[in-house]
Amino acid sequence: MALSGSLLLRRGAMRRCPVCGQGHLFRRWFLMESACPGCGLVFRRAPGHWLGSWFLNVLVVQSVLVAGISVVVALTWPARLNAWSIGLVVAVALSVPALFFPFSRTIWTAIDLVMRPLDFDDGVDPGVELSQLPPGGPRPRGRPWERSSPSPDSPGRHDPRESGGSR
């Protein structure tokens, strides 16, 4: 995968496809396209893929609530929380998860791509990835532990510079 983790996360944070930067990934606020219209990335990369975005959403809501309650308590101490404060907390607890929902999905997709780089069955057009390769040509494909060692059925390969050539 040629894309840097920071670029993937920045695109995800802007509700864009992490792979190609395409926007308009949501038909409605809560209704995401199943695949990116720009590059073809299938967003649900594995069964249970969106559990990560739910976790991300819960994390953000909890953080906002803890920070907000801390500020309210610090400002009103030693008075007890009144109905307005409790109403504000409830409003935040209900609105933040809804507002953050699409961001949680694209950010999670970016995080997942950082942890598990693109594979052939992700649906991405190979041309999209090749067009974003850094100067100097493509990186060797395959898992690092598979491409570093010479295969045992190819005798006479002692020069490591020759590995990675044609089979």
Interface with Zn ion, residue 163, by CB under 5 A: no
For residue 21, CA distances in Å to 64, 67, 90, 145 come to: 28, 32, 35, 31
How many residues touch Zn ion under the rule CB under 5 A: the total is 8
Please, what is the minimum distance in Å from the beta carbon of residue 137 to Zn ion? Answer: 23
Interface with Zn ion, residue 113, by CB under 5 A: no
Tell me the residue type at 2.
Answer: A
Which of 3, 12, 32, 38 contacts Zn ion by CB under 5 A?
38
- Kindly report the number of other CB atoms within 10 A of residue 110's CB atom: 24
Interface with Zn ion, residue 22, by CB under 5 A: yes
Binding mask 41-70 for Zn ion (x = CB under 5 A): x-----------------------------
For residue 139, CA distances in Å to 2, 41, 63, 148 come to: 8, 20, 39, 13
Spatial distance between the Cα atoms of 161 and 153, rounded to a whole number of angstroms: 17
Which of 3, 36, 111, 118 contacts Zn ion by CB under 5 A?
36
Interface with Zn ion, residue 12, by CB under 5 A: no
Task: Give 35 or 88: the residue with its C-beta nearer to Zn ion.
Answer: 35
Query: Hey, is 32 helix, strand or coil?
Result: strand
Judged by the rule CB under 5 A, the positions of this chain that interact with Zn ion are 17, 19-20, 22, 36, 38-39, 41
